[in-house]
Amino acid sequence: MPLDPRSALRAAISVPGVPRDADGPVFREPWEAQAFAMALALHERGVFTWTEWASALAAEIKRAQAAGDPDTGETYYRHWLSTLERLVADKGVTTTDTLIRYRDAWDHACDRTPHGQPIGLTPADFSH
């Protein structure tokens, strides 16, 4: 399935709150664009519908607000990322433990990579 600006625009319209302009989504930081693109890829693969995504995201935002999130719009993509993590676990794509293991491995990879060198994962990054 194409991961293209047209399907991205459709996603930005289908999901409430996505910051956008006339062409499609806009982002505050580079990682937000990555998180958006991953959700789009999973949607195109049929992992979830936008309706399903929107309600999972709404639930995530509600939980965050209950925990004191100021909901200024600046945290929108944080909730988006948490929703991604939660949904891929719920759908059996992966597990929360796996995500944590990979997060820690990347953290280790960063620590041992001299500044400016490409950061890559090696098996040894998982044994810390």
Partner 1 sequence: MSGHDHHHHDHDHSELSETELRVRALETVLTEKGYVDPKALDLLIETYEKKVGPRNGARVVAKAWADPAYRARLLKDGTPAIAEVGYAGRQGEHIVALENTRQRHNMVVCTLCSCYPWPVLGLPPVWYKSAPYRSRAVSDPRGVLADFGVSLPKDTEIRVWDSTAEIRYLVLPMRPTGTEGWSEEKLADLVTRDSMIGTGLAKNPGEVK
Query: Using CA atoms, how far apart are residues 5 and 127, in angstroms rounded to an integer?
Result: 39
* Residue nearer to partner 1 on the CB measure, 51 or 98: 98
Q: Phi/psi at 88 (nearest 5 deg)?
A: -65, -30
Choosing from 4, 52, 71, 90, the residue that interacts with partner 1 (CB under 8 A) is 4
12 binds partner 1 (CB under 8 A): no
Restricted to residues 83-112, the positions that interact with partner 1 (CB under 8 A) are 84-85, 88, 93-94, 98-100, 102-103, 105-107, 110-112
* Residue nearer to partner 1 on the CB measure, 32 or 60: 32
Query: Using CA atoms, how far apart are residues 111 and 109, in angstroms rounded to an integer?
Result: 5
* CB 96 within 8 Å of CB 104: no
* CB 65 within 8 Å of CB 110: no
How close are the terminal C-alpha atoms of the chain, in Å? Answer: 38
Site residues (vs partner 1, CB under 8 A)? 3-5, 8, 21, 23-35, 37-38, 40-42, 45, 47, 78, 81, 84-85, 88, 93-94, 98-100, 102-103, 105-107, 110-119, 121
